[in-house]
Each structure stands twice: as C-alpha cells, then as structure tokens.
Amino acid sequence: MAAQPFFMTSDNEDDSDVGIAVKTRARTKRPPLYKVLLLNDDYTPMEFVVQILEQFFGLTHAQAFEIMLTVHKKGVAVVGVFSHEIAETKVTQVMDFARRHQHPLQCTMEKE
Ligand code: TYC
C-alpha cells in the first residue's frame, strides 16, 4: 500500500474537519528596560538630591539618603529601572526640578 502524504490540501476541499496543525512559537519580546542614572556634582546640596529621590522615585528617606551617598562617593548610581516612557518622564522631572532651583544636577537614562 502506498504511504499517505502527511500534508493534505487539494484533495480535502469539502470543508470536512481535517487540517494541518501548525505550531507557531510565541515571539513576544519583552519591551526593553532603561536604567535612570543620577550623576554627582560638587554643588547640588545633598538634601536636595534626597528630596528628589523621595519625591519622584517614591523612595523612603533612608533609601534616598543611601542612593544619594552612593552617587556622592562613586560618581553615579542607578536610581531605578523603568520602561522607556517612564524613564524619560523621570529624567525630565528631575532635570526640570533641578534647573528651576538652579542646581547643576544631572540625570540620564540608558538601555539596560
Ligand atoms: N556631591 C554633592 C555635595 O557634596 C552631593 C550630591 C549627591 C550631588 C548626589 C549630586 O547626584 C548627586 N553637595
């Protein structure tokens, strides 16, 4: 007996319940995440940086103080990791707030 071909197409045109099972891999790429970085400078007051970290990043006073000290000692620290849109918003909020108070504080973002 001749072997039946696995793929049946043209001889199955009566809409009967026969078909080809096709498995597709779910290629759902997670959106990229962005680190928000705070940079040290010699002029921005420590308490101002702590205030920013509490206000815009929802950190406790202790967490904010610790990150501020890390930036002060090491030059830079990651404040948080966010979607592109949220990271951009945080950077804008920090930069606007610093500029309004005439402090040279710098905040940037980079792809994780
Ligand atoms: N280095 C600043 C000072 O001695 C404090 C400071 C901390 C500034 C963190 C910026 O991102 C910063 N007043």
Q: Distance (Å, rounded) from C-alpha 74 to C-alpha 33?
A: 23
> Could you read off the pLDDT tens digit of each residue along the chain, which spans 112 residues?
344 443 334 444 455 557 778 777 888 899 999 999 999 999 999 999 999 999 999 999 999 999 999 999 999 999 999 999 999 999 999 999 999 999 999 999 999 9
User: HEC string of 65-91?
Assistant: HHHHHHHHHHCEEEEEEECHHHHHHHH
Question: For residue 21, what pLDDT is reported?
Answer: 80
Q: What domains appear along the chain, each with residue ranges and CATH number?
A: 43-111 (3.30.1390.10)
CB-ligand 1 contact for 45 (6 Å cutoff): yes
Q: Write the residue with the smallest CA distance to atom 7 of ligand 1.
A: 72
Question: For residue 16, what pLDDT is reported?
Answer: 53
- Taking alpha carbons only, the member of 78, 86, 3 closest to residue 39 is 78
Question: For residue 86, what pLDDT is reported?
Answer: 98
Note if the pTM is more than 0.85: no
